[in-house]
């Protein structure tokens, strides 16, 4: 039986870099919120004893895809703990909507969806805590998608505290460039000394992204797009880019700006949500047990 699972996008409503660790990771303070928009994974559990990605993602070898890496990590962990059904396997297809290198967390969200979906479909019985521990091995953003709630994050992004920011409407646009996270975080001009502040302080002041200045300097397409969007609404970079988002109080206001967006960029309108669509799907499936 084919099962359908959302892999939602996320926005960094603000992002401040507060330091850099010896291992190269950056310390940060950020506010994550999900969108009711993203990729969709179609998973068919079987008894093949292996996991196959039947719709490869252009530009990413299957062995490097976080979908396969997440499945193999869960498989091996369950096998070691004798939690894996005999010959557990799956075939996975993805309907890819989120741009690679867009700062929307697409790869991390895909990994989290695989971990949660296969944990359910294979009846491996791991808790969200355990899945989050596995997820951090795949990427710093994976635990936020595992936990499934909007959060204020610190550390390298793994220290999460639930929050309930206003669920606004967003116009998200992609300028057609692919921006590597490592390129931004290795830039010598990246601001890395934002002061550590309390959640209350950060929520009370205008939101900002420390990565934005570097990205706007390196990529004129992003700079021009932010400048254009700022004429209509508060707008900024999400993550390390390349996607830019503008916030609105209503869906209709967001769609009005989408209609006049320059033809050279792609965009969509989505609602910010504090509970992940992935968790909503999981809860619905569990209710049918």
3-class secondary-structure state, position 88 = coil
Q: Which of 113, 221, 224, 232 is nearest to 170 (CA)?
A: 232
Instruction: Tokens for 245, please give them.
Output: 């988002």
Catalytic residue among 39, 141, 168, 210: 141
Of the candidates 277, 273, 238, the residue with the CA atom closest to the CA atom of residue 104: 238
Q: Which of 10, 39, 168, 210 is catalytic?
A: 10
CB–CB of 262/256 below 8 Å?
A: no
Report how far residue 130's alpha carbon sits from residue 115's, in angstroms, rounded to the nearest whole number.
Answer: 10
Sequence-distant (6+) residues with CB within 8 A of 143 are 112, 132, 135, 136, 157, 158, 160
Q: Is 64 labeled as catalytic in the residue annotation?
A: no
Q: Is 91 a catalytic residue?
A: no
Number of Cβ within 10 Å of residue 12's Cβ equals 26
Catalytic residues: 10, 141
């Amino acid at each position: 039986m084919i099962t359908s699972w959302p892999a939602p996008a996320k926005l960094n409503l603000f992002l401040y870099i507060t330091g850099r660790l010896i291992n190269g990771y950056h310390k940060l303070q950020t506010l994550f919120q999900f969108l009711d928009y993203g990729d969709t994974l179609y998973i068919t559990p079987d008894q093949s004893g292996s996991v196959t990605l039947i719709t490869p993602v252009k530009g990413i070898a299957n062995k490097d895809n976080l979908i396969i890496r997440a499945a193999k990590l869960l498989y091996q962990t369950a096998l070691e703990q004798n939690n894996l059904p005999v010959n557990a396997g799956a075939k996975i297809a993805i309907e890819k909507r989120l741009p690679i290198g867009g700062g929307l967390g697409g790869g991390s969200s895909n990994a989290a969806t695989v971990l949660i979906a296969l944990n359910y479909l294979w009846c491996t019985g791991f808790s969200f805590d355990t899945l989050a521990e596995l997820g951090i091995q795949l990427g710093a953003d994976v635990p936020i998608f595992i936990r499934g709630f909007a959060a204020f994050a610190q550390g390298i992004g793994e220290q999460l505290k639930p929050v309930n920011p206003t669920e606004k409407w967003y116009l998200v646009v992609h300028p057609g460039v692919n921006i590597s996270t490592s390129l931004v975080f290795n830039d010598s001009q990246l601001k890395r000394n934002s002061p550590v502040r309390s959640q209350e302080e950060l929520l009370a002041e205008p939101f900002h992204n420390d990565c934005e200045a570097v990205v706007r300097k390196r990529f004129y397409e992003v700079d021009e797009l932010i400048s254009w969007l700022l004429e209509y609404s508060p707008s900024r970079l999400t993550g390390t880019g390349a996607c830019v988002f503008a916030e609105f109080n209503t869906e209709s206001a967001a769609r009005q700006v989408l209609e006049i967006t320059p033809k050279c960029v792609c965009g969509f309108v989505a609602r910010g949500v504090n509970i992940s669509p992935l968790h909503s799907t999981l809860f619905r499936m569990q209710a049918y047990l």
